[in-house]
Amino acid sequence: MKNKMAAQQLLAPAAVSTGLQVVIPHRKPELTRAALKYAAGLADGLGVRLRLIDVHVVPYGVPLDMPTVNPKHITRRLRNLAQESTLDISAEVVYARDWEQGFRRVLGPGSLVLMAIQRAWWRTSEKRLAARLRKLGHQVIWVECS
């Protein structure tokens, strides 16, 4: 595949609604679970549509349509996380050369991003990512986890 990024839809896409769309990046399972739990409280009765995005980095020299990890394993892992929630979740796996570039490409303009981050007194890479996304015009909510 000649594209810089390939995306694979895992679950049936949620029906187009007039409700709010929230994007949750998947970095670590425990952080994703915390973000989904927070989103469940946030979305209660609001008709929120969640997009769970897992960006898989494919090294240079390897074609994007032939990732180094079995795509079925990635799909199953993300599907299991999405099924733990009772919310309407659209889960996607994105193959890219750079994690942040791959994630930014799937975001629409002015997206609402919900990120779970590890609690720390220093400026973590997740906090720096949130600042860069805000600079690009996205709205970022972060949930601190212990």
> Under 8 Å CB-to-CB from 78, ≥6 apart: which residues?
10, 26, 52, 54, 91, 93
Helix (H) or strand (E) holding 139: strand 139-145
How many alpha carbons lie under 13 Å from residue 84 in its C-beta half-sphere?
A: 15
Helix (H) or strand (E) holding 43: helix 29-43
List the chain pLDDT tens, one digit each, 146 residues.
333 334 443 433 443 444 678 999 998 888 988 998 888 887 777 778 889 999 999 988 888 888 788 888 888 888 888 888 878 888 899 999 999 999 999 999 999 999 999 888 888 888 999 999 999 999 999 898 87
> Under 8 Å CB-to-CB from 2, ≥6 apart: which residues?
none
